[in-house]
Amino acid sequence: MQIEPQAFDRVLSSMCTEPHPVAREAAERFLATNPGDPGTYPSVTALEDEAVSMLGDIAGLEDPSGYIASGGTEANIQAVRIARNRAETRTPNVVMPESAHFSFQKAADVLGVDLRIVPTDDSFRADLEAVRSCVDEETAMVIGVAGTTEYGRVDPIPELGEIAEAVDAMLHVDAAWGGFVLPFTDFEWHFDHAPVDTMAIDPHKMGQAAVPAGGLLARSDDLFDELAVDTPYLESTSQATLTGTRSGAGVASAVAAMAELWPEGYERQYVRSRNNAEWLADALEKRGYEVVDPTLPLVAADVPKSTFDALRAEGWRISRTGTGELRIVCMPHVTREMLASFIGDLDRLEVR
């Protein structure tokens, strides 16, 4: 039986993309390896060290600890787990803006921490006053997002770091999507800009690696001691990952993509994506739609549900924000031609 995968030519909502050819090739070669068992598969373990070191370069961290996770969800869950295990209270809380990804809800549920969700301000970034009044001596972690899922916004990370430090809490930055474009912007988002303890940064999103390749980074190795469990019948003595058997394909493909593209290739891609986002925002504005100004290559616009449905019926893979705006992510596979054809369909199908 032959089932064709989804073609990318009408996919405008995904935060994943077509893997770079070198990433695809590396994934295939390492399909049968398991970095969860370093004693048996040492070559993929060496590659994983390489991946973490390159993620450290991207995220301003000189001597990084970390691993290649199954995705941003696992990285976020593990970061919250580190904070919970380090907390001295039995009733820790975690504070995050409402713009943070739903994976933190899973984390809070699985880990039994109290998740405190604070509003965002007019620019869709964490409201600092709200964060300040929400933290207390039981706050184990403050979360900032560097590239939000819905609007591509970057929270004020240095200020969140100050708030976290004041109550002795950890600071986690979710750069799962933004991490591979932010180095080419002026935003302050990484380990060298703020007292960041942990970060999610996913090669399988803007990093052009094959799925599954998420990234979890930590400022120091001892943070992972919080997660280590003994592994009696493996040659390695402990494991800090959430999953056991893991994808060597994800690890190899992350290394291949980063070795090929960091930094110039990613920068070229960022410029293409940004120009596409600006072109699209402009095209939508000219047609009278209210557009959320793109700060990273992600465009949201107030397009009526009926028009949205007509475009979906035409085969466009598009999605909507929680408040109903059309949302388009300018990933590497999204070309100007695709966007022009999308706008052509919008003109033809729009319901006013």
Residue nearer to ligand 0PR on the CB measure, 76 or 276? 76
- Tokens representing 96? 């995050």
* Length in residues, the chain: 352
Question: Taking the complex as a whole, how short is the minimal distance between the CB of residue 296 and ligand 0PR, in angstroms?
Answer: 11
User: Which residue, 92 or 212, has its beta carbon nearer to ligand 0PR?
Assistant: 212
Nearer to ligand 0PR, 231 or 319 (CB): 319
| Tokens of residue 339, six digits | 């966007």
Report d(CA 4, CA 86) in Å as an integer. 46
Q: How far is the CB of 287 from ligand 0PR (least distance, A)?
A: 26
The residue count for binding ligand 0PR (CB under 6 A) is: 16
Contact between 247 and ligand 0PR per CB under 6 A: no
Q: Tell the smallest beta-carbon distance from residue 347 to ligand 0PR (Å).
A: 26
CA distance 226 to 83: 9
Alpha carbon distance 335, 147 (integer Å): 21
With H, G, I as helix, E, B as strand and everything else as coil, classify residue 327: strand
Give the separation between CA 317 and CA 323, rounded to whole angstroms. 18
Q: Which stretch binds ligand 0PR (CB under 6 A): 68-76, 117-125, 134-142, 259-267?
A: 68-76
Question: Does residue 236 contact residue 31 with C-beta atoms inside 8 Å?
Answer: no
Q: What is the per-residue binding string for ligand 0PR in 144-163, x denoting contact by CB under 6 A?
A: -x---x--------------
Which has the closest alpha carbon to 127: 153, 92, 89?
Answer: 153
Q: How far is the CB of 322 from ligand 0PR (least distance, A)?
A: 11
Q: Are 89 and 138 in contact (CB under 8 A)?
A: yes
- Letters for 78-117 (x = contact with ligand 0PR by CB under 6 A, - = none) are -----------------------x-x--------------
263: tokens are: 């930094």
Binding track, positions 296-335, relative to ligand 0PR; x by CB under 6 A: ----------------------------------------
Q: How many CA atoms are closer than 13 Å to the CA of 110, on its beta-carbon side?
A: 15
Q: Which stretch binds ligand 0PR (CB under 6 A): 12-20, 116-124, 130-138, 161-169?
A: 12-20
Query: Rounded CA gap, 138 and 87, in Å?
Result: 8
d(CA 93, CA 113): 6
15-54 residues in contact with ligand 0PR (CB under 6 A) are 15-16
* DSSP, res 264: H
Residues binding ligand 0PR (CB under 6 A): 14-16, 71-73, 76, 101, 103, 145, 149, 174, 176-177, 202, 214
